[in-house]
Amino acid sequence: MSNEPIEPIQRSSSAIRYRFDDRDMDFVFQMSVAAAKTGGPDAGELYAVASRIEDGDTESWVKEFAAYGDAQRALAADWEARGRRRSAGEVLMKAYYAYRQAWQFAAGDAAAFESLIGEFESAFADATRLMELPLTYLEVPFGSASLPGLRLDAGPGAPTLLLHGGLDTCREDVFHLIGLNAWRRGYTVVMVDLPGQGTTPLRGLHLMSETERPIGAVIDHLVDAYGTDPARLALMGMSAGGYMVSRAVMTERRVAACVATTPISDGGGLLPVESLEAMASGGGGVRAGFLMYLWRSGLTTAAELAQLFATFRADPSQVDCAFLSLAGSGEGLGFLDQARRWHEGLPAQNKTLLELDASTGADAHCQANNPTRLAQEVCDWLDDFFDRRG
């Protein structure tokens, strides 16, 4: 047995440091820098906040990002009162992003964790209202509860792109990661939190392996409520969402094309008990991430969480829709290996594997450091599939 220490999963290149030595903090920070084009704080604001954060200290991260959210919300209230509605909406979107990033590492403080949920959800809702985006909120019935979602309407005839995030994300995050960019490129975009994602644990919904069930419920709702044509419906998952959609299209045939960044077919292989125990015993961002995983799963120990992730299994040989797989060279070999094996195992003729290296600036997990490039690759591929070029 090897005596080498178990490392947490890698989500960005260790050769590139944006601001923090804490790798989890730095990954979230680089994702934040990349979100400026979709309404997140600009680089100057983010680096000003970061200058007040102690590297590896999640309490200072939460404190400084939450304080910046408060300051942006106060500025937005002043501007809205003066009739500057558009600018107030833009500032509120920055407030949302600051509150949301504070929440990322707040799971160790129950009071702060729950209060930040209300702050980021209300700031986002007010921002999109003032900016007059054609965004509506939806609720998808699922068991005795419902799955919360957002819908950006691109008008009659537009194909629909159904988006799901991962273990660290919520529907509003997906708006910044690709949702807004895809809508700008002519797609009606639907962003729905599946069990365990976003704030669904507050509804008694936790992570589950049988993701074809909630995704099937979402498709039912889109067909019934909006008349969505399955022949014009694409499905996309990011991070653990890459597992969720890959699993779903094994049996869900009402999807014309599927995209995963990255496709995951063996959750236990990525996060075995040794890795989860290393996260639990670590400090800084990695332990905060582990606590978030526990909250999303409704479990209490690393061993229980490992047992759950071991049930996250998908088989590419059962998929018959067109499929785009993406991966970044900055991701750990576990992600890259699963993406390659998934692609090789797909029987469909219309399949593509795209690996983005450091020269693209999109080499991080889910291309979080360059969401513009992500949207370009995904939407251009879908445009070809749906024959929308020109």
State pLDDT tens for residues 258-310. 999 999 999 999 999 999 999 999 999 999 999 999 999 999 999 999 999 99
- In the structure encoding, which two tokens stand for residue 230, read together? 């399955």
Residue 301 lies in a domain: no
User: Which residue segment(s) compose the domain that 118 sits in?
Assistant: 22-132
Q: Quick one: average pLDDT of 167-190? A: 97
Residue 296 lies in a domain: no
| Residues 190 and 226 placed together within one structural domain of the fold | yes
| Residues 126 and 206 placed together within one structural domain of the fold | no
| Residues 361 and 226 placed together within one structural domain of the fold | yes
Q: Quick one: average pLDDT of 351-357? A: 97
pTM of the model as a whole: 0.96
Q: Taking all residues of the chain, what is their mean pLDDT, rounded to a whole number?
A: 95
Residue 300 lies in a domain: no
Please check the confidence at residue 6 and state whether its pLDDT lies above 70: no
| Residues 345 and 389 placed together within one structural domain of the fold | yes
Q: Quick one: average pLDDT of 19-23? A: 93
User: CATH number of the domain that 84 lies in?
Assistant: 1.20.1440.110
pLDDT of amino acid 2: 38
Give the C-alpha separation, 237 to 32, whole Å.
20
pLDDT of amino acid 1: 34
Which of these three, 116, 132, 148, is where a domain ends? 132
| Residues 64 and 122 placed together within one structural domain of the fold | yes
State pLDDT tens for residues 308-334. 999 999 999 999 999 999 999 999 888
Which of these three, 90, 112, 132, is where a domain ends? 132
| Residues 373 and 248 placed together within one structural domain of the fold | yes
| Residues 118 and 179 placed together within one structural domain of the fold | no
- Cα dist. 332→9, 10, 36, 279 in Å? 6, 5, 26, 16
Is the preceding omega at residue 262 within 30 degrees of 0, hence cis?
A: yes
Q: Quick one: average pLDDT of 1-11? A: 54
| Residues 194 and 342 placed together within one structural domain of the fold | yes
pLDDT of amino acid 389: 66
Using alpha carbons, select from 336, 327, 321, 323 the residue that is nearest to residue 374: 327
Radius of gyration of the chain (CA): 20
Which of these three, 81, 112, 132, is where a domain ends? 132
Give the C-alpha separation, 322 to 333, whole Å.
25
pLDDT of amino acid 388: 80
Residue 163 lies in a domain: yes
Please check the confidence at residue 343 and state whether its pLDDT lies above 80: yes
Residue 282 lies in a domain: no
Residue 46 lies in a domain: yes
| Residues 159 and 89 placed together within one structural domain of the fold | no
Give the C-alpha separation, 33 to 52, whole Å.
16
User: CATH number of the domain that 249 lies in?
Assistant: 3.40.50.1820
State pLDDT tens for residues 78-131. 999 999 999 999 999 999 999 999 999 999 898 999 999 999 999 999 999 999
How many domains does the structure of the chain reveal? 2
Strands of 257-261's sheet, edge to edge? 135-142, 145-152, 188-192, 160-164, 233-238, 257-261, 322-328, 351-356
Q: Are residues 171 and 192 in contact, defined by beta-carbon separation less than 8 angstroms?
A: yes
Give the C-alpha separation, 51 to 46, whole Å.
9
